[in-house]
Amino acid sequence: MQDIRKPVIILVRPQMGENIGAAARAMLNFGLTEMRLVAPRDGWPNPKAVAMASGAAGRVLDHAKVYPDLASAMEGVDFAFATTARGRDLTKPVYTPATAMEKARGHDGRCALIFGPERAGLENEDVARANAIVTVPVNPDFPSLNLAQAVLLLGYEWGRDELPPEPAPLQRRPDGEVPADRVEIERLGDHYEEKLAEAGFFFPETKAANMRLNLRNMWSRLSLTRGDVRILHGVLRQLTRR
């Protein structure tokens, strides 16, 4: 059962199976699961799309529907956004991805995001069937986006309010990534101080106490992991072996 609150992704005349599979991955990254394909160039299903979708995103392709034209692919859609980087002679509101997806979230009916073929994008006849245009503000000297990149951008803007504000912390980390505790830092400082003293580093004697203090302060400022501490002990042992 598709979630009618989420936008439908419509790929119009997509050319490469790899791009369809990559678009499926981008969709699932942000919880979008309904893909509609309009006259895919290489037919459907496409093994290259499945290979690129890789794993869980394959279920997006499993449920993708194929239509002969855009008009039929917009079945059940109340409001559609056409994505294009080119200027158009058609009079329509033009939004950035952020503004467009804000409007989509506030729309009561079913929305669709329409993407054109890789080589030339949507034709005017396609754009005419949409209610509004979405254009990404990019470098005007190179405005072209890969199909999957465009899907990813709009998917991110759609799901942004539902995403966690910060990356989730790692629940399980290898021992080498665990922060070193104060005892481990102290032992590391002792090890270096001992070997530096043997090498005559603390000279002249009148400055030795301050040098030791500065070194100890330096160790406490560093955000070392247990793995870092082991490496630094090993480095010092190797350097002083002879």
- pTM to 2 decimal places: 0.69
- pLDDT, position 142: 84
pLDDT of residue 171: 53
Alpha helices, H only, 112-168: 124-127, 147-159
What is the identity of the amino acid at 98?
A: A
Return d(Cα 93, Cα 47) in angstroms, integer.
Answer: 38
| Cα→Cα distances 62→31, 52, 66, 200, Å | 15, 13, 11, 71
Q: Where in the sequence of the chain do the CATH 3.40.1280.10 domains occur?
A: 8-162
Give the class (CATH, top level) of 175-239: mainly alpha
Intervals of the chain under pLDDT 50:
1
Write down the pLDDT at residue 111.
Answer: 96
8-162: what fold? Alpha/beta knot (3.40.1280)
Report the C-alpha gap between 180 and 188 in whole angstroms: 10
Residue ranges matching CATH 1.10.8 in the chain: 175-239
50 by Cβ neighbours in 10 Å (0-12 / 13-18 / 19+) ranks as middle
> In 10 A of CB 156, how many CB atoms?
16
